[in-house]
């Protein structure tokens, strides 16, 4: 039996349910607001000379370190930022020289730990459970097609939707960012490879410049991978809980846990094996400090892959075996 018509069905349902249009609207609105806020902020607080701005920023952050009692992760990040800015100052490179492409690349790392996974969950949470709550699962699973095949078609549709969301996010960020900062600059050099030494100093020995498009591609790839892993785990909760609200609630709680844990309990090292802690991986691909020291991109990719594989195994086994009593 052919498989593509099943995927076509699932994509059609995603689209007709207006989920997809809602997610695209959210993306466009959010990115629009961010660009607007950034442009406004720059106009107010920035002088004409980027060196003065950057020096002021470094001074401000040094003050933070002296005065306030920052949590460990934030302290590490501020130290890193100071060192990174100083590195740029020393070499006379404007760290905030922005462009549409640069904004788009920034969107990938800023959205991979919360926004994109959240949107992925909007799709994943009800792609299975809605069939139960609407009772249509009784028809879907009494057609001459095996249950695993039906579930696989839903999985493919979900991954397509997540991929399209990341793609549209990147394009919209580029278009809006370009409107504010200009559309050129994909080939501009981008500094990557900053590292923290164990003594928490900046290790710039591995810093190198790559063309921006190369780093942007990596960032979006990692952001897609993170969102897809979350989607697959949300897919499992949708299968297990058979309720859209319960599945969304569980997944949102997990995501929020992922943003809180590294801040409030940074010494609990085991959290690096939780999928939520590994989501900001495009961020530390360039060298910013990871949530827990010692986490690397390959490590996070592996952790997410193991979680996703486990979620898939559970989803398919449970879905294929369980009695449908909806």
Partner 1 sequence: MGEPVLAAEHLTKRFGDRTAVSDVSFEVPAGEVFGFLGPNGAGKTTTIRMLVGLARPDRGRVRIRGLDVAKEFSRAMAHVGCIVESPDLYPYLTGRENLLHFARMLPDGAAARIPGLASLVALGERLDDKVSTYSLGMRQRLGIAQALLGAPDVLILDEPANGLDPAGIREIRRLVRSLAEERGISVFVSSHLLSEVEQMCDRVAIIHRGKTLSTGPVAELLSRAASGHRVVARPGERALDVLERVFPGRVEREGPETFLVAAGGADIPAAVRALVEAGVEVAAVERRASTLEDVFLEITGGETV
Listed in sequence order, the residues at least 6 apart from 79 whose beta carbon sits closer than 8 Å to its beta carbon are 65, 200, 202
CB of 29 to partner 1, least distance (A): 23
Choice from 41, 146, 187, 189 touching partner 1 (CB under 8 A): 146
Choice from 94, 136, 214, 296 touching partner 1 (CB under 8 A): 136
148 lies in the binding site for partner 1 (CB under 8 A): no
160 lies in the binding site for partner 1 (CB under 8 A): no
8 lies in the binding site for partner 1 (CB under 8 A): yes
Choice from 139, 197, 267, 298 touching partner 1 (CB under 8 A): 139
Choice from 85, 114, 312, 324 touching partner 1 (CB under 8 A): 324
DSSP at 232: H
Choice from 49, 72, 96, 134 touching partner 1 (CB under 8 A): 134
22 lies in the binding site for partner 1 (CB under 8 A): no
Picking from 95, 97, 93, the residue whose alpha carbon sits closest to that of residue 80 is 95
- Spatial distance between the Cα atoms of 70 and 297, rounded to a whole number of angstroms: 26
- What does 153-187 look like in DSSP terms, one character per residue? HHHHHHHHHHHHHHHHHHHHHHHHHHHHH-S--TT
Task: Give whichever of 135 and 298 is closer to partner 1, judged by the CB atom.
Answer: 135
- Spatial distance between the Cα atoms of 251 and 229, rounded to a whole number of angstroms: 12
Task: Give whichever of 72 and 317 is closer to partner 1, judged by the CB atom.
Answer: 317
317 lies in the binding site for partner 1 (CB under 8 A): no
Q: How many residues bind partner 1 (CB under 8 A)?
A: 25
Whole-angstrom distance between the N-terminal and C-terminal Cα of the chain?
A: 26
Distances (CA, A) of 120 to 101, 112, 116, 126, 263: 24, 11, 6, 11, 24
Q: Is 135 left (phi over 0), alpha (psi -120 to 50) or beta?
A: left
71 lies in the binding site for partner 1 (CB under 8 A): no
Task: Give whichever of 144 and 294 is closer to partner 1, judged by the CB atom.
Answer: 144
Any alpha helices (H) in 68-114, and if so which ranges? 72-90, 100-111
CB of 153 to partner 1, least distance (A): 10
Per CB under 8 A, residues contacting partner 1 are 1, 5-6, 8-9, 12-13, 16-18, 134-136, 138-146, 323-325
């Amino acid at each position: 039996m052919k498989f593509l018509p099943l995927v076509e069905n699932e994509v059609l349902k995603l689209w007709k349910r207006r989920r997809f249009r809602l997610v695209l609207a959210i993306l466009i609105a959010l990115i629009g607001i961010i660009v607007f806020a950034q442009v406004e902020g720059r106009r107010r607080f920035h002088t004409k000379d980027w060196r003065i701005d950057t020096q002021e920023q470094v001074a401000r952050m040094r003050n933070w370190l002296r005065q306030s009692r920052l949590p460990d992760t934030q302290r590490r990040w501020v130290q890193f930022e100071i060192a990174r800015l100083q590195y740029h100052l020393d070499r006379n490179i404007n760290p905030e020289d922005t462009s549409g492409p640069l904004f788009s690349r920034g969107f990938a790392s800023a959205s991979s730990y919360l926004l994109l996974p959240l949107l992925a969950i909007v799709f994943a949470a009800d792609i299975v459970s809605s069939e139960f709550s609407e009772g249509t699962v009784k028809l879907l699973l009494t057609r001459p097609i095996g249950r695993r095949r039906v579930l696989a078609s839903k999985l493919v549709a979900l991954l397509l939707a997540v991929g399209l969301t990341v793609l549209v996010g990147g394009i919209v960020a580029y278009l809006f960012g370009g409107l504010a900062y200009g559309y050129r600059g994909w080939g501009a050099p981008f500094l990557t490879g900053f590292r923290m030494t164990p003594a928490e100093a900046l290790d710039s020995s591995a810093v190198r410049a790559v063309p921006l498009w190369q780093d942007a591609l990596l960032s979006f790839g990692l952001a897609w991978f993170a969102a897809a892993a979350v989607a697959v785990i949300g897919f499992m909760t949708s299968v297990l809980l058979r309720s859209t609200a319960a599945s969304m609630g569980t997944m949102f709680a997990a995501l929020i846990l992922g943003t809180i844990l590294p801040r409030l309990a940074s010494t609990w090292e085991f959290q690096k094996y939780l999928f939520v802690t590994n989501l900001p991986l495009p961020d530390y691909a360039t060298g910013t400090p990871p949530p827990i020291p010692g986490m690397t991109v390959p490590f996070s990719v592996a952790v997410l892959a193991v979680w996703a594989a486990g979620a898939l195994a559970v989803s398919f086994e449970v879905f294929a075996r369980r009695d449908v009593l909806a």
